[in-house]
Every structure is written in structure tokens, then in C-alpha cells.
Amino acid sequence: MSYETMENMLRAVDAAPYETETIVRVPDDDPTTLKRTLDLDPTGILVPMVETADQAAAIVEATQYPPGGRRGLGITRASEYGLSINNHIKSVEETLVRHVQLESVPAIENATEIAAVDGIDGVFVGPVDLSMSMDCFGEWEDEAFLDAVTHAVEAAHNAGIAIGTLATTADQRAARIEWGVDYLAASVDLTHLADGAAEALDHCLALSDRENKIESTDR
């Protein structure tokens, strides 16, 4: 999505009559991408395809203000367009969360080191890309795949940070909660749309079949 669309979505969530948090999955770990995203004031970011502790540390550095990092300061939504800039600088490290995605064999191999990076608040197992990386695409019960997940969960919990994953079906949600994760991306919008359309179609076909049976009985 564009930054303008993202900003409008963040405004919509902030205006909702309940407390919630906004985590933006950015497309990459480029410092400019991270800065432009954080300037729109989400609660945090989720960075894909992180494979080393050095990469994770670079993400932290790019998203911290000096002297700890090198994030540039601007008159943006995050600082209420300059109206609360001093408070923003003082409080942002207490509120901003940084999560990184573990989606490959190298990422799992380095999970302990990645989770231990100061400033990383959570890791997220990307099951689809991870299974592809392990040459067991979609084989959720594969022993090596489950061992990799267990390693990631243990790395996160030992580091005292959160761990999440993706689940797109009821069965996946039940199984992945059993992995010991702290949170789920419970589906994606396109899946909800497809499931809803399929359910409506099945309902219509069932109604049509019922009407045909009624007509047949009347005859």
C-alpha cells in the first residue's frame, strides 16, 4: 500500500472506540522505508526476511533516535506535527515495538542471536516461506519443520520477547497455538474474502438443491 493509504488506515484504527495497537509489516529493512513508516506513528513494525543478528541490530539502529541510533527526526504525525516533539523523543522507546520475521533456514539457525538483540521486541515465524526454505512446502507436520519452530519459540522465550506466527484456517490456529506462540495473525483479508464468497456460494447451491427437491416432490 502507499504511505498515504497506510496513514489513513492508522488514523482509522486510532479513532476506533477501543484500545488497539497497529503493527505495520514493512516491505524491507531499508532505513528510509523504516523511517517513513514510523513517521506515520504505528505502534510498531514487523520486518520480513531477517536472517542474522547484525541485520536485526541494523534495524534497531535505523529506528532509534541518536545517540543510540540514526533515525532522523521530522515534523511528522508521530510527533503530532511538532506539537509534542519533546515528549515524542522521550517516550518513543517505551512504546515502539520492533518485530522481525524468521522465514528461512539461516534465520532459524541464528534465532537465538537474533532474539537476543537489544531493541528487538518480538520474532514472527513465517511458516510458508520457512517451509519452502526447508524444502517441505506446506508440510506442517514435517518433523524438521516442527523442530525449527520449536527452536524459534525457545529462542524467543529465553530472550524474554514475544513470538508470533500466521494461521489462515481454524485447524491451523488451533495447531499453532499449541506451538507456544504468544500471538497469531489469525488470517489475511484476501482469505477472509475468499472464504466468505465460498460460504455464500455453498449456501446458494444448497438452497437451489433444496428447491429442486421440493419441486420434484410436488410433481
For the CA atoms of 132, 123, 155, 151, the dihedral, rounded to the nearest 10 degrees, stands at -20
CA triplet 19, 95, 56: central angle to 5 degrees?
A: 125
pLDDT for position 215: 66
Residue 74, burial from CB neighbour count under 10 angstroms (0-12, 13-18, 19+): middle
Q: Which helix (H) or strand (E) holds 2?
A: none
Distance CA 185, CA 162 (A): 13
pLDDT for position 210: 75
pLDDT for position 209: 82
Per-residue confidence of the chain (219 residues) as pLDDT tens digits?
Answer: 899 999 999 999 999 998 889 999 999 999 999 999 999 999 999 999 999 999 999 999 999 999 999 999 989 999 999 999 999 999 999 999 999 999 999 999 999 999 999 999 999 999 999 999 999 999 999 999 999 999 999 999 999 999 999 999 999 999 999 999 999 999 888 989 999 999 999 999 999 887 776 666 665
pLDDT for position 27: 96
- For 146, phi and psi rounded to 5 degrees? -65, -35
C-alpha cell at 20: 488497539
pTM of the full structure: 0.89
Q: Which helix (H) or strand (E) holds 63?
A: helix 53-63
pLDDT for position 180: 97
Domain 3-187, classified CATH 3.20.20.60, yes or no: yes
pLDDT for position 218: 63
